[in-house]
Structure 1
Amino acid sequence: MSRKLLIVAHTPSPNTRRLLDSLLHGAAHSDISGVEVMHKPALQAEPDDIRSCDAILLFTTENLGYMSGALKDFFDRCYYPVLEEKQGLPCLVVIRAGHDGTGTRRALDTILTGLRWKQVREPLVLRGEWREEFAGLAEEAGLYLAAGLEAGIF
């Protein structure tokens, strides 16, 4: 039985689109056959997308010490419609932070605690100036969530 992994992302720049590609590549690794990966831009993701998934990966930029407006809009539209039915949803957070990502992480922790979604590992915060290693770390994060989902760990 195939399980569904939803990636909700805000990718306003070439580097963030590159990170999304890396997340998708890791999640769709050739060694993983029991996971269907679906990507939705944050402004297009709907409550039904969440209802139909078995795990979710959230990717946002740090904007003025907070998550992107697009991801905030996603939560504004989806929080209450899925609150009761998706408690315990495995979740992984990736933040592309030009500074330190602290405010973004704190805001997401608060929202995810309210939703009662289960963060399966510490958020991946890619801080500072762009570094090539960010793409590999993002790929690893996508693979981690998809492999855990396929193995039934999450």
Structure 2
Amino acid sequence: MPRLLIVHHTPSPHCQEMFEAVLAGATDPEIDGVEVVRRPALTVSSVEMLAADGYVLGTPVNLGYVSGALKHAFDQSYYQLLDSTRGRPFGVYLHGNEGTEGAVRALDGITAGLGWVRAAETVIVSGKPTKDDLEACWNLGATVAAGLME
């Protein structure tokens, strides 16, 4: 069974709302035969990253960059993932109050280096997520998960 791994750093209520919307989309009953695994960025292992067939990455944007927690997840796994996970689909959601461009650039560089393929547009939210923002998060989770259906 294909496995979608949601790697997230969820330190705030706004990030939690976004995470829950992504998870709801990824686990929609119409998406059949995909195991959805969720792991905090500080505890996800290289083995879990390698075992996944696709990824959703969620992070707040701190000081114009991805959270240290998500960076840590890649720092501990990058070389194990390199060449082993090329072509795998991914999606990203970000929460930042300003200056998200640096985080987008960083994740673009990391995922390009790994050879991952963007499966959905990045969702970027500033401030409290609106209904439309949460719908975009739901669609992100559903899109990446549905792409893994056999």
TM-score range, shorter chain: over 0.9
Correspondence for 2:48: 49
Q: Counterparts of 1:62 and 1:132 in 2: how far apart (Å)? A: 18
1:119 aligns with 2:121: no
Correspondence for 1:105: 104
1:148 aligns with 2:138: no
Correspondence for 2:16: 17
Identity of aligned residues (%): 37
Q: Determine helix, strand or coil for the equivalent of 2:59.
A: strand
Q: Counterparts of 2:99 and 2:136 in 1: how far apart (Å)? A: 17
Specify the code of the residue in structure 2 equivalent to 1:131. P
Q: Counterparts of 1:55 and 1:82 in 2: how far apart (Å)? A: 12
Specify the code of the residue in structure 2 equivalent to 1:62. V
Q: Counterparts of 2:3 and 2:111 in 1: how far apart (Å)? A: 19
The CA deviation at 1:121 is 2.7
Correspondence for 1:94: 93
Correspondence for 1:40: 39
Q: Determine helix, strand or coil for the equivalent of 2:110.
A: helix
Contact 2:14–2:95 (8 Å) recurs in 1: no
Alpha-carbon deviations, 1:13-63, whole Å to 9, x = none?
A: 112112111111110001111111000000011111111111011011110
Q: When the two structures are aligned, how many residues end up with a matched partner?
A: 149
Unmatched tracts of structure 2, length 5 or more: none
Q: Which runs of 4+ in 1 moved over 6 A?
A: none
Q: Give the alignment's TM-score, normalised by structure 2.
A: 0.94
Q: Determine helix, strand or coil for the equivalent of 1:32.
A: coil
Q: Determine helix, strand or coil for the equivalent of 2:135.
A: helix
Q: Give the alignment's TM-score, normalised by structure 1.
A: 0.92
